[in-house]
Each structure stands twice: as structure tokens, then as C-alpha cells.
């Protein structure tokens, strides 16, 4: 299957001459730039990055190398919707004790055109502030002043880090166009980095050696050279959001540096390049990971009472999962290591990802169940592409049984055994075994989740409509509904329906939810006076009334990214329509059956008359969680035919 998912390659050293003669410096703002009303190559853009230039280099102080990154940015704001571009945040490591990073903003200026003259407004101290995120992390924020439509903002920031491995990822694409992007990296000869490039942009790349020298005292001179890599690209189009995309940042053109080795003068060679095996073994052996699963004393008494009388592993697994899920409250911290440990988390009834799920591994193992931790990267965190201790940000539980793996994650109140929170469904995870090895596990669901909608509708002679709808959801369909709407009040549920289905008035509403392992049932009654057209003694009726698909969710001409439905699903509808007295059927839409290539999906539509009733049935099934982008054209046409069909009219005429 041709995926075209992500173009991944090692950065080559060939030079592609494109031509970048123009100067890109801060402070050189022109009236023509300020007068520009729209971006010349993307008139829909609400802002554009006129240039973004960065340089990463190493400095030698007191025999210690530090790494510095300096970035200059110039942004044009076309519309008020882009005012958020005038706010910028930088997270950095700043522990209360020991070495940390330093972040500074400088040259922050907003330019406006006022009465034909360029007006400069410099950022003041109150525009730059620092917040403590957690005990080891701070964020420095910049909020630009005097931001208006048409303005240009410029700023420069620097990051000084004592951690030479910490070269931050460099992005060449954003959600707005970039006129010019340049990144220069100077790495001393003593350090080797593996450069990973992800994305489809073609970069101009140049390599050279630059001589360096440092004088410590009179007559004490230290000489070495930097390996310099320069990356340039012009006229980068904005990354457009598309429907059914996992995390668009997975496909952003990005340069990633991995520290491979160090060979300092008069020192031994040190190798740092990691394999997944290295990463997984070190994580497992960490005091805040593996040993946490072996702690048992804090839960033994409770667990003994909990499983009393249970005889099968399935019963014990379900009981332990439900117990941890109900007792523990996730603090919304994505972590693969514990912060306070499983014992304290258990006592306080709150914890991060690792504390809640490693606790569950310990309980299941105490009962003799073959449970293991699984590392994963959540959807918001992106796909784990390269071996790194930062690749994963969450840990769940896998139980080996019957030749497969049962997934458990108790951080969500709406998950159930083998029904993970949607945030976890991100391609593959790694199951860590006791012998230090790891197994790749597919996290994407294979079972089809059902959403079944039944409606009984009365059609009156004046064209008014009333009816009752019953919508039953199971598995991931139910989980998604619970995540989005379960906490809403009855009044808010009614508002949601009336907003989603324009033209109906909901008169009754009921939500039946008997637990996360059971089906979720939504029921409501409705009335409508604008669902049917009455023209010249004829009625024109949409077969599915307000329940049909109004428009094709796939609108782009082409597709660059995989289509991610999150999980396979089936949506079934059966609508029974009581026809009005004094009318008979003139025409009905024809029945139809469709199928996607490679058995990715099917759709069927049927309509039959039974005395004074019409019975309309549809069945849409998407049989895979992810489809490659080269199937986009056929998928787009598939949904176009569905929309066309469900919007064909039933025509009734007076007898």
C-alpha cells in the first residue's frame, strides 16, 4: 500500500542553488510592506512570516561548552484573526537547583503605518513575563504592543543551554505562509549529531568548515573548527488543516538533531546514539518506572477484598480496572515516570499517567495476570519517529492473553477494557517486558464501533414534521460521545441538538447510560416546520430529514496527509415515515449500494413503501481507522455520492 505518510531521510550535504540574494534583517520595514493588504501568493492568509532566521552555535566558557540558539522573526498581520501571532511563548528547563536554561526576548517592535508615516512601538518590560509551569519548567511569554490589522511585528529571542544535546527541533512550515526561512547550525568538531529531516519540502543545503579559536589567557589559545550546516527555503505555503487529520504537526517539515557521540581532547570516546532497545531498557530500569510496579504493600488489603469470590482472569481484570478508574483521578499530566510515586498517588487518589497505570500493572501482576506497561505518544504529542527518551509521553497497560493484547488505561473515566481514550490511538506503542526487551504493539482499533439511529416521523399535510429519534452507540462511538457531551446538562444537550440540526425544536430529551461497558442511548422528540417544501400541491421531502449528511466532509482538491477516522465505524439508520392523508407518492429515490476500493468501506441506501409508510434505511461502514492519502480521490467521490443520494427528494402529490 502506497502510504506517502511522512518523508523521512537523513539530511544530505549536497548544495541545491536556489538563489537567496535578498537581505533579511530586523529593522528594515518599508511602507510597501505595511501597505500590503493580502499575501501575494495566498490571498486567504490572515498573516505571513516574512522571514524566520535562526542560528545554533556552541560557546566555550571555563572549559565547558554551552549551546546557544538565536532566532529572528518578522511577521505581517493582515487580519485581526491573526492577532494571536503577536503572542509567543518559550518553554525551558529551569530547576530550582542545579543548571538550567536561560531565555531572553530582544528587539521586539511593532510597526504601523499612521498618516503615511511608519510608527514604531517597542515592547516594554510588562510585555515580557515569566511563569512557573512546574518545579523544573518555566515559560517566558512575549505579548507584542500596538497590534493592528496591517502591522508588522519583529522580535528576536535567544536560548542558552548547558545541555549540549538539547538542540531544539527547527520547523520550516506553519499554518501561515513563510516567505523565507533559514537555519544555520555550527557544531564543534568534537560532537557528532545525526540529523533527521521529516517532511516533503526541498531545502537548499550547504556544508562548510569554520575555524574557531578561544583565548583563555595570554599565550593560552585553543583552536578547533565547527561543522556548519545551512538550510534555506523560500515561498513555503501554509499548512492547511484538513478533515480527519490526526495531528498535522506529524507532517510538518522539521529538522531534528540527535546527539550521537562526543570525543573531547584528552578524553575517551563517548557514544550516545540510541536504539529503541537502549531507550526502553533505561526507562524500565529508572527508579520512577520499573520499581514502581513492584510495590504492593499499599494496596494488598484492598485488593484482597476486591477480588474475593472472583475465579476468572477476565473478572479480575475488569474489577481491577474499574476500581483504579473509579478511585484515581488523572491530574492531566502526561508522564512516563512517576512524580510522587504510586504509593502516595494511591493515598491521595490522584496521579499522572504513569502513577495510575503502573499502579494497575502492579495490582494485576499481584493477581498472577500477565500485565506489562506500554509506552505511547499521544495524538497531541505526535508520532514517535526516532529513538529518544522524549518520544513517548504516556504509559498504559497491556495484558497478554489468547495470543493478543488487551489494552487498559484508567486515566479516563469513560474508557473500558480494550477501549482506550481517543488521545491514546496514535499508531504504535512499545510494550516493555521484564527481560528488558520491548515489543511493538499496534494501538489502532480493528473492531467496528456501531452507531445506530432509529426514527419514527409523522409528516403532516401542511408540511410540518414531528417525530422521535433513538440513537444507540457502543464502543468507541459511545466513548467519543461521552468525552464530548456526557457532562452537559439536559438543557445544554437540547441546545446542542438544535444547533447541530438547524430548523428543529427538541421537545423532550433523555440520555440512558448504564456504564462505560454498556451501550449509550440518546432519545429525543422534535418538531420542525421547515424540513419540507410544499410547492403547487406537491411535497418535496429529504429522505433522512434533518439526520442526513448535508455536505461532503472532504473538500480539498488534493490530500497530503493520511485520512484518520480514529477507529472503524458503522452508522446505521432506519427511518419510518407516516405519510399524510390526501397525498400519494409520485417519485422515490432509487436504491443504491457503493463500495470503496480495497474494501475500505461500503454504503447502502434503500427505500420501500409499506401501506401509508415509507421505510428508509442507510448503512455506512468505514472498515479501517486510517486510509492513505492516495485513496483520497476515491473517498471524496464516495462521500459525494452519499451526500447526493441522501439529498435526493421524495416527491408526494395530492390525490
> What number is the average pLDDT over the span 103-116?
96
pLDDT of residue 393: 96
Whether pLDDT at 166 is above 90: no
Judged by average pLDDT, the poorest of 4-18, 30-44, 555-569, 572-586 is 4-18
Q: Is 435 helix (H, G, I), strand (E, B) or coil?
A: coil
Please, are residues 354 and 337 in contact by the beta-carbon 8 Å criterion?
A: yes
Question: Residue 495: phi, psi to the nearest 5?
Answer: -60, -40
Q: Which residues sit opposite 428 in a β-bridge?
A: 442
Calpha distance 420→410 (Å, rounded): 9
pLDDT of residue 7: 33
pLDDT of residue 606: 98
Residues 6+ apart with CB under 8 A from 257: 167, 169, 185, 193, 194, 195, 196
- Nearest CA to 279 out of 443, 392, 196, 166 is that of 392
Average pLDDT, the chain: 93
> What number is the average pLDDT over the span 90-118?
94
Q: Which residues sit opposite 429 in a β-bridge?
A: 441
pLDDT of residue 217: 65
Widest distance between CA atoms in the chain: 110
pLDDT of residue 19: 44
Calpha distance 54→26 (Å, rounded): 12
Q: Using the structure block, give the residue that is written with the C-alpha cell 405519510.
A: 579
Residues 526-574: tens digit of each pLDDT: 999 888 999 988 999 999 999 999 999 998 888 888 999 999 999 999 9
Judged by average pLDDT, the poorest of 205-209, 249-253, 564-568, 628-632 is 249-253
pTM for this predicted structure: 0.84
Q: Classify the C-alpha dihedral 166-169-170-174 as positive or negative.
A: negative
Residues 228-275: tens digit of each pLDDT: 999 999 999 999 888 898 888 888 999 999 899 999 888 899 988 788
Residues 6+ apart with CB under 8 A from 21: none
Whether pLDDT at 46 is above 60: yes
Cell triple for residue 123?
515592547
Residues 279-290: tens digit of each pLDDT: 999 999 999 999
Residues 335-377: tens digit of each pLDDT: 999 999 999 999 999 999 999 999 999 999 999 999 999 999 9
Q: Classify the C-alpha dihedral 430-432-437-439 as positive or negative.
A: negative
Q: Classify the C-alpha dihedral 634-638-641-643 as positive or negative.
A: negative
pLDDT of residue 274: 82
pLDDT of residue 187: 97
pLDDT of residue 280: 94
Please, are residues 264 and 60 in contact by the beta-carbon 8 Å criterion?
A: no
Torsion of CA 561, 567, 570, 573, to 10 degrees: -80
Count CA atoms closer than 13 A to 482's CA, side-chain side: 27
Judged by average pLDDT, the poorest of 5-19, 244-258, 421-435, 603-617 is 5-19
Q: Identify the helix (H) or strand (E) that includes residue 128.
A: strand 128-134
Judged by average pLDDT, the poorest of 512-516, 588-592, 634-638 is 512-516
Q: Identify the helix (H) or strand (E) that includes residue 479.
A: helix 475-485
When pLDDT is cut at 50, 70 and 90, the band that residue 56 belongs to is very high
Cell triple for residue 475?
464502543
Q: Using the structure block, give the residue that is written with the C-alpha cell 502506497.
A: 2
Residues 6+ apart with CB under 8 A from 330: 350, 351, 352, 353, 356, 411, 412
Calpha distance 623→83 (Å, rounded): 42
- Nearest CA to 249 out of 171, 353, 323, 316 is that of 171
pLDDT of residue 15: 35
Please, are residues 546 and 528 in contact by the beta-carbon 8 Å criterion?
A: yes
The alpha-carbon radius of gyration of the chain (Å, integer) is 30
Amino acid at each position: 500500500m502506497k502510504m506517502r505518510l511522512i518523508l523521512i531521510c537523513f539530511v544530505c550535504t549536497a548544495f541545491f542553488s536556489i538563489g537567496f540574494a535578498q537581505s533579511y534583517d530586523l529593522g528594515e520595514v518599508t511602507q510597501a510592506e505595511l501597505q500590503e493588504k493580502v499575501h501575494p501568493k495566498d490571498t486567504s492568509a490572515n498573516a505571513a512570516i516574512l522571514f524566520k532566521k535562526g542560528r545554533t552555535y556552541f560557546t566555550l566558557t571555563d572549559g565547558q561548552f554551552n549551546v546557544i540558539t538565536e532566532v529572528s522573526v518578522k511577521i505581517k498581520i493582515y487580519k485581526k484573526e491573526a492577532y494571536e501571532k503577536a503572542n509567543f511563548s518559550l518553554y525551558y528547563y529551569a530547576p530550582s537547583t542545579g543548571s538550567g536554561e536561560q531565555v531572553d526576548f530582544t528587539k521586539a517592535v511593532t510597526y504601523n503605518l499612521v498618516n503615511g508615516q511608519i510608527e514604531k512601538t517597542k515592547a516594554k518590560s510588562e510585555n515580557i513575563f515569566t511563569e512557573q509551569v512546574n518545579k523544573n519548567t518555566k515559560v517566558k511569554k512575549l505579548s507584542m504592543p500596538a497590534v493592528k490589522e496591517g502591522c508588522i511585528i519583529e522580535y528576536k529571542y535567544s536560548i542558552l543551554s548547558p545541555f549540549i544535546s538539547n538542540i531544539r527541533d527547527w520547523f520550516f512550515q506553519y499554518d501561515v505562509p513563510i516567505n523565507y526561512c533559514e537555519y544555520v547550525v555550527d557544531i564543534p568538531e568534537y560532537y557528532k549529531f545525526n540529523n533527521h529531516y521529516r517532511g516533503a519540502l526541498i531545502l537548499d543545503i550547504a556544508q562548510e568548515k569554520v575555524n574557531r579559536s578561544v583565548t583563555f589567557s595570554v599565550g593560552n589559545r585553543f583552536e578547533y573548527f565547527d561543522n556548519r550546516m545551512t538550510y534555506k527555503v523560500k515561498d513555503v505555503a501554509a499548512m492547511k488543516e484538513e478533515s480527519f487529520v490526526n495531528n498535522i504537526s506529524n507532517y510538518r517539515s522539521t529538522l531534528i538533531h540527535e546527539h550521537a557521540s562526543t570525543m573531547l581532547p584528552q578524553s575517551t570516546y563517548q557514544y550516545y546514539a540510541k536504539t529503541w532497545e537502549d531507550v526502553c531498557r533505561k526507562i524500565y530500569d529508572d527508579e520512577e518506572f520499573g520499581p514502581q510496579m513492584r510495590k504492593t504493600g499499599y494496596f494488598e488489603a484492598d485488593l484482597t477484598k476486591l477480588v474475593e469470590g472472583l475465579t476468572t482472569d477476565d473478572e479480575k481484570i475488569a474489577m481491577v480496572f474499574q476500581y483504579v478508574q473509579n478511585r484515581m483521578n488523572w491530574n492531566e499530566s502526561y508522564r512516563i515516570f512517576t512524580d510522587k510515586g504510586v504509593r502516595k498517588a494511591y493515598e491521595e487518589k490522584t496521579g499522572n499517567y504513569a502513577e495510575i497505570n503502573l499502579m494497575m500493572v502492579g495490582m494485576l501482576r499481584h493477581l498472577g495476570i500477565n500485565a506489562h506497561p506500554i509506552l505511547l505518544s499521544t495524538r497531541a504529542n505526535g508520532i514517535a519517529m526516532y529513538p529518544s527518551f522524549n518520544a513517548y509521553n504516556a504509559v498504559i497497560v497491556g495484558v497478554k492473553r489468547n495470543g493478543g493484547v488487551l489494552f487498559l488505561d484508567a486515566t479516563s473515566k469513560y474508557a473500558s477494557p480494550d477501549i482506550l481514550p481517543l488521545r491514546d490511538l496514535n499508531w504504535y506503542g512499545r510494550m516493555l517486558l521484564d527481560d528488558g526487551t520491548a515489543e511493538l504493539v499496534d494501538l489502532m482499533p480493528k473492531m467496528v464501533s456501531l452507531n445506530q439511529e432509529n426514527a419514527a416521523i409523522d409528516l403532516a399535510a401542511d408540511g410540518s414534521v414531528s417525530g422521535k429519534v433513538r440513537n444507540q452507540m457502543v464502543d468507541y462511538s459511545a466513548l467519543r460521545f461521552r468525552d464530548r457531551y456526557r457532562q452537559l446538562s439536559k438543557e445544554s444537550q437540547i441546545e446542542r441538538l438544535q444547533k447541530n440540526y438547524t430548523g428543529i425544536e427538541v421537545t423532550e430529551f433523555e440520555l440512558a447510560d448504564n456504564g462505560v461497558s454498556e451501550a449509550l442511548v440518546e432519545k429525543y422528540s422534535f418538531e420542525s416546520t421547515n424540513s419540507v417544501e410544499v410547492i403547487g400541491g406537491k411535497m418535496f421531502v429529504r429522505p433522512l430529514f434533518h439526520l442526513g449528511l448535508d455536505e461532503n466532509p472532504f473538500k480539498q482538491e488534493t490530500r497530503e496527509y493520511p485520512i484518520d477516522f480514529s477507529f472503524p465505524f458503522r452508522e446505521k439508520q432506519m427511518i419510518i415515515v407516516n405519510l399524510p392523508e390526501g397525498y400519494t407518492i409520485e417519485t422515490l429515490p432509487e436504491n443504491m449500494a457503493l463500495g470503496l476500493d480495497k474494501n475500505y468501506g461500503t454504503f447502502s441506501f434503500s427505500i420501500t413503501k409499506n401501506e401509508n409508510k415509507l421505510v428508509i434505511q442507510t448503512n455506512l461502514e468505514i472498515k479501517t481507522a486510517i486510509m492513505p492519502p492516495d485513496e483520497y480521490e476515491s473517498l471524496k467521490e464516495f462521500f459525494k455520492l452519499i451526500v447526493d443520494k441522501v439529498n435526493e427528494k421524495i416527491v408526494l402529490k395530492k390525490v
